[in-house]
Amino acid sequence: MNKQSYIEIIGQFYEGAVFIYGTTLLIIYAILAMLSLSAIQKFYKQDKHIDYKLLLTSKLTPGISVIAPAFNEALTIIENVHSLLNLNYPKYEVIIINDGSTDDTLDKMIREFDLAEVDFAYNELLKTKPVKRIFRSTNQAYSKLVVVDKENGKAKADASNAGINVSSFDHFLCTDVDSILDRDTLMKLVKPIMEQGRKRVIATGATLRMANSCIIEQGFMQRVVVPRQTLPRFQEVEYIRSFVMGKMGWSVINCVPNVSGGLGLFDKDIAINAGGYDPQSFGEDMELVIRMMTFCINYKIEYAIEYIPVTLCWTEGPSTLKVFGRQRTRWARGLAQLMFSHRKLLFNPSYGRLGLIVMPYNFLFELLAPIIEFLGILYYIYIIFMNQVNWPYAIILLVFVYTYAIMISTLSILWDQLTHHTYKTWREVAILCITAFFEMLVYHPLIVFYAIKGYYNFLANRKHTWGNMQRQGFGGPRPVIQPT
Amino acid sequence: MLATMLADSLFGPFFRKYFYYYDSYPVVIQIAIFLTGVAIVTTVLAYSSILFRRGRGYLVEVRTKKINTFLDNLITDHIIFNEDVMNGVPLADVQIESAPFKKPVFKQKWVRQALISRLMYFTSSFSGDRNVLFRRLFLELELEKLSFKKIKSFFLSTKIVGLVELTTMGVAVADVIILPLTNSRNRKLRSEARIAYIKLSKNDPFKFFDDATEPLLLWDQLELYKIITTTEGLNIPNFARWITYSPNKSIISFCLKLVIHYNQHEAIPAIIRLLDNKDHYLRVDAINALGKLKAEEVEDRLVSIYNHQPTRCQIEILKSLGRFSSGNQVNFLRNEFLRSTDFDLKKNAARSLINHGRETKEVVQLLLETASPENAIILKHCMNPLIKY
């Protein structure tokens, strides 16, 4: 056989493999769409009759520790802490971890909340950078507040671990101090835990959305608006698809791979036994969830991770390409790191769904997808040069993939609309639907590019520089914060 | 294969007519064309559905707003500001003018349903005399017939709606109808049936405790606890009955919470027997209950079993000794504080010692003076009024 034949054989094999790969992915999306629809309908059918206010007065309400790390948040910290202290829940504490801020974040909190340093018996269940001081408020109105001042750990994970060490209750909610939470967040997230039967609910999550362009007053959401800027708008569609369709679908078969770092309620006992957040990880939220699942399986604890189709948290998405690229490169690197460090779980039947569904899906269709796509583009260019493209067929296939992708995004938007009207006007929904048409052409190539860059950084073990993430803030002046 | 056959039978003639070469395409391309069609149709349907739902939602909102204003005015005029009630006429003699509620508009089912919703809303918002009148109006207008019809529905979600309506409006339902539903496999129906049974059953509202095979989840307990502790005129039984005999662990756990609420000291012997139960979660609940009931007579027993218990139970024993604050176990608590290597045990021992108040002031002071830095900070933590936990 000559060189040409080898290339042809490789080409045919690649085409066949990609066909099977692509078909499987499309089938998975279709299944997820159906599963998520059933889960959403079931949730809302039951939710109609739920009186969440029962939690407000009952002695049986479980306590929750809200953990929010802060680094150089001086411009918005006061408003953010006030909003965390005003959640609708009777039994909770707010733990703010000042992660070695170099601005006056801590001083502002001390003044605003009448903080006094206390002799706090700190139990270092999870290893962190040294905790310098712990403060409590002398003002009864802020008795829920605990402020931990620690050395900078260069990762949100380290600060979150310090928060877990200080927490008093059996469940903790991890969030970002600059995220906007719905007032009923704790009531809604604790319910799946209170409904646990045979299986122990080790984590619950809810939908996140972009806070960009939304109307926010005193730290609370007043009106949800579709982001006006292009990049956050693409992210809005992506988040709807990921949370409303993806995570809701996976939760039906108890295969949720990740509870977002922006909002998640966790079983403290399991989280600590699993080793807490990994400060070395670039995707510490998913890493923790995978380790919690692994721990449960190792110790024969029947577990469940639940998602609810309600938007409870809004976060400011990157609006510039530079910041967006840095975020996505880090996420991709985190995924590669996670897959490498947990490679023993992959296709391992001893780990049940984790080993046979969660890990393989994330390996094949999250980690490998950008690589396969990138190789596909190179192959396409090659066969174009070799004049081997059957253009009518190629166009038919491209149109098919394009229309299918739009269908999936549109269905996600529909599922989201089925249950509640997040957006006030139909025009906003129309804008989202139109965005879906451009997502594959504009946004998706960016995702692929930054993913490949992240994998390269992981393989080359390049040092990650956190840099400064310019955020717009919500109505106030522009704070400069470092992503943790 | 199936997709190809389906595509061929459904779209084949169309494609053959308009795409001459369709039949000559490879199967993969034929499937791709078919699925492209499916994707386009689905997307268009999705858009239509979004538009339709938003449009319908808007109309329903406008309609509901309008009818609710009308109904609220009627209810306000004839019940809330009822002339007889305002003039202090005894409740039994109060006249409700039901004619305005029998206007032709009420023949429409959705209006009657809206009236039920508003009456439920007002019933939840008011208490006392007004609630009796809301219920009377509900019965006079025979709205309960709609609710009973729902209970008989094949659909579980409709059954739930019917039960919620009758429970909220306080309309009695025969035990034979509700009791089987208290063990339904559907969690929500089961939960609503249990609430309804406790609230509406005239005979033995706690009877379903005897037969409950399905677990009482924490959320169910929350709902039941509220109903049991707030329903007026409910005969509260001695919960020791279920603590002793129930095979359902969640029922026992729930009864322990009720025993604490009603301060049922007569249940203490039954709770003490639970200390031998193999399930350590139940033992934790039992020790907790004994502590909250201040069952001092059991403290020697708690101390004697302490070393053989898992940490959760040990913590609960230490807390209970703090709640008793009898002064009999100061040495035990002091030794446990000094000896234990577990942080939580140390902390709870310290807290219980401090809870004794003046009685242990000297002991605590001495401990503070001689303690290691780690122990000293635990003591200071527990003594600090700013730190709750």
> What secondary structure letter does DSSP report for B296?
G
Question: Chain A: nearest CA to B25, how far in angstroms?
Answer: 9
Question: Chain B: nearest CA to A244, how far in angstroms?
Answer: 15
Q: Which amino acid is at A449?
A: F
**pLDDT level of residue B374 (50, 70, 90 thresholds):** very high
Coil, helix or strand for B283?
helix
Degrees, nearest 5: CA angle A403-A408-A411: 120
A149: β partners: A98, A133
Helix (H) or strand (E) holding B354: helix B343-355
- Whole-number pLDDT of residue B302: 96
Task: Determine contact, residues B46/A410, Cβ cutoff 8 Å.
Answer: yes
Question: Chain A: nearest CA to B259, how far in angstroms?
Answer: 13
Contact flag A49-B161 (C-beta cutoff 8 Å): yes
Question: Chain A: nearest CA to B388, how far in angstroms?
Answer: 9
Q: What mean pLDDT comes out for the span A112-117?
A: 96
A479, pLDDT greater than 60: no
Residue A448's contacts (CB-CB under 8 Å, 6 or more residues apart) are A370, A373, A374
Nearest to B384 among A119, A195, A426 (CB): A119
Query: In angstroms, rounded to a whole number, what is the distance separating the alpha carbons of residues B163 and A68?
Result: 42
B133, pLDDT greater than 80: yes
Contact flag A197-B215 (C-beta cutoff 8 Å): yes
3-state SS of A284-338? HHHHHHHHHHHHHHHCCCCEEEEEEEEEEEEECCCCCHHHHHHHHHHHHHHHHHH
Q: What mean pLDDT comes out for the span B270-282?
A: 94
Task: Determine contact, residues A190/A55, Cβ cutoff 8 Å.
Answer: yes
* Sign of the alpha-carbon torsion through A265, A270, A272, A275: negative
Contact flag A403-B32 (C-beta cutoff 8 Å): no
- Whole-number pLDDT of residue B98: 79
Strand A200-210 versus strand A180-181 pairing type: unpaired
| Interface subset of B 345-384, CB within 8 angstroms of A | 347, 377-378, 380-382, 384
Query: In angstroms, rounded to a whole number, what is the distance separating the alpha carbons of residues A95 and A173?
Result: 10
**pLDDT level of residue B213 (50, 70, 90 thresholds):** confident
Query: In angstroms, rounded to a whole number, what is the distance separating the alpha carbons of residues B334 and B322?
Result: 12
A483, pLDDT greater than 60: no
- Whole-number pLDDT of residue B96: 80
Burial grade of A5 (CB within 10 A; 0-12, 13-18, 19 or more): exposed
**A417 chain-B contacts, CB cut-off 8 A:** 50, 53-54
- Whole-number pLDDT of residue A435: 96
| Interface subset of B 204-233, CB within 8 angstroms of A | 215, 217-219, 221-223, 225-226
Q: Which residue of A has its CA nearest to B188?
A: A46
Summarize pLDDT for A35-70 with one digit per residue, the tens: 999 999 989 888 877 889 888 989 999 999 999 999
Question: Chain A: nearest CA to B352, how far in angstroms?
Answer: 16
pTM comes to: 0.88
Q: Which residue of B has its CA nearest to A136?
A: B386
Contact flag B54-A119 (C-beta cutoff 8 Å): no
Summarize pLDDT for A204-241 with one digit per residue, the tens: 999 999 999 899 887 888 899 999 999 999 999 999 99
Q: Provide ipTM, 2 decimals.
A: 0.85
Q: What mean pLDDT comes out for the span A136-140?
A: 95
As a whole-number percent, the residues of chain A with pLDDT over 70 amount to 94
Contact flag A421-B57 (C-beta cutoff 8 Å): yes
Token couple for B164: 């919620």
B7, pLDDT greater than 70: no
C-beta atoms surrounding B248 within 10 Å: 18
Q: What mean pLDDT comes out for the span A190-213?
A: 93
- Whole-number pLDDT of residue B156: 87
A482, pLDDT greater than 50: no
Which of B44, B50, B61 is the mutation pick for testing A, counting most A CBs within 10 A? Answer: B50
Q: What mean pLDDT comes out for the span B271-296?
A: 95
Query: In angstroms, rounded to a whole number, what is the distance separating the alpha carbons of residues A234 and A409?
Result: 11
Token couple for A75: 């411009």
Q: What mean pLDDT comes out for the span A403-418?
A: 93
Q: What mean pLDDT comes out for the span B17-29?
A: 72
Token couple for A243: 């949370």
Identify the top-confidence range among A38-47, A169-178, B49-58, B81-90: A169-178
**pLDDT level of residue A476 (50, 70, 90 thresholds):** very low
- Whole-number pLDDT of residue A393: 86
3-state SS of chain A? CCHHHHHHHHHHHHHHHHHHHHHHHHHHHHHHHHHHHHHHHHHHHHHCCCCCCHHHHCCCCCCEEEEEEECCCCCCHHHHHHHHHCCCCCCEEEEEEEECCCCCHHHHHHHHCCEEECCCCCCCCCCCCCEEEEEEECCHHHCCEEEEEECCCCCHHHHHHHHHHHCCCCEEEEECCCCEECCCHHHHHHHHHHCCCCCEEEEEEEEEEECCCCEEECCEEEECCCCCCHHHHHHHHHHHHHHHHHHHHHHHCCCCCCCCCCEEEEEHHHHHHCCCCCCCCCCHHHHHHHHHHHHHHHCCCCEEEEEEEEEEEEECCCCCHHHHHHHHHHHHHHHHHHHHHCHHHCCCHHHHHHHHHHHHHHHHHHHHHHHHHHHHHHHHHHHHHCCCCCHHHHHHHHHHHHHHHHHHHHHHHHHHHHHCCCCCCHHHHHHHHHHHHHHHHHHHHHHHHHHHHHHHHHHCCCCCCCCCEECCCCCCCCCEECCC
**A138 chain-B contacts, CB cut-off 8 A:** 386
Q: What mean pLDDT comes out for the span B299-324?
A: 95
**pLDDT level of residue A477 (50, 70, 90 thresholds):** very low
- Whole-number pLDDT of residue A54: 86
B271, pLDDT greater than 80: yes
Task: Determine contact, residues A257/A339, Cβ cutoff 8 Å.
Answer: no
Q: Which amino acid is at B57?
A: G
Contact flag A58-B36 (C-beta cutoff 8 Å): no
Q: Using only the alpha carbons of chain A, give its radius of gyration.
A: 23
Question: Chain B: nearest CA to A481, how far in angstroms?
Answer: 31
Q: By C-alpha distance, which of B100, B91, B101, B84 is closest to B138?
A: B101
Query: In angstroms, rounded to a whole number, what is the distance separating the alpha carbons of residues A89 and A63?
Result: 9
Contact flag A116-B386 (C-beta cutoff 8 Å): yes
B166, pLDDT greater than 70: yes
Q: What is the mean pLDDT of chain B?
A: 88
**A168 chain-B contacts, CB cut-off 8 A:** 388-389
- Whole-number pLDDT of residue B186: 85
**pLDDT level of residue B358 (50, 70, 90 thresholds):** confident
- Whole-number pLDDT of residue B71: 92
Task: Determine contact, residues A452/A371, Cβ cutoff 8 Å.
Answer: yes
Query: In angstroms, rounded to a whole number, what is the distance separating the alpha carbons of residues A450 and B42?
Result: 31
Nearest to B219 among A45, A120, A194 (CB): A194
**pLDDT level of residue B16 (50, 70, 90 thresholds):** low
Question: Chain B: nearest CA to A213, how far in angstroms?
Answer: 22
Q: By C-alpha distance, which of A252, A183, A209 is closest to A41?
A: A252
CB pairs under 8 A between A and B: 128
Residue B114's contacts (CB-CB under 8 Å, 6 or more residues apart) are B64, B67, B68, B71
Question: Chain B: nearest CA to A254, how far in angstroms?
Answer: 18
Strand A92-99 versus strand A145-150 pairing type: parallel
- Whole-number pLDDT of residue A465: 55
Query: In angstroms, rounded to a whole number, what is the distance separating the alpha carbons of residues B284 and B261?
Result: 17
- By mean pLDDT, which of B39-53, B71-85, B142-156, B369-383 is the weakest? B71-85
Q: Could you identify the residue written with the tokens 């919703």? A: B117
Judged by a CB distance cut-off of 8 A, whether residue B160 touches chain A is yes
Contact flag B50-A58 (C-beta cutoff 8 Å): no
C-beta atoms surrounding B202 within 10 Å: 9
**B261 chain-A contacts, CB cut-off 8 A:** 59
| Interface subset of B 176-195, CB within 8 angstroms of A | 187-188, 192
Contact flag A403-B36 (C-beta cutoff 8 Å): yes
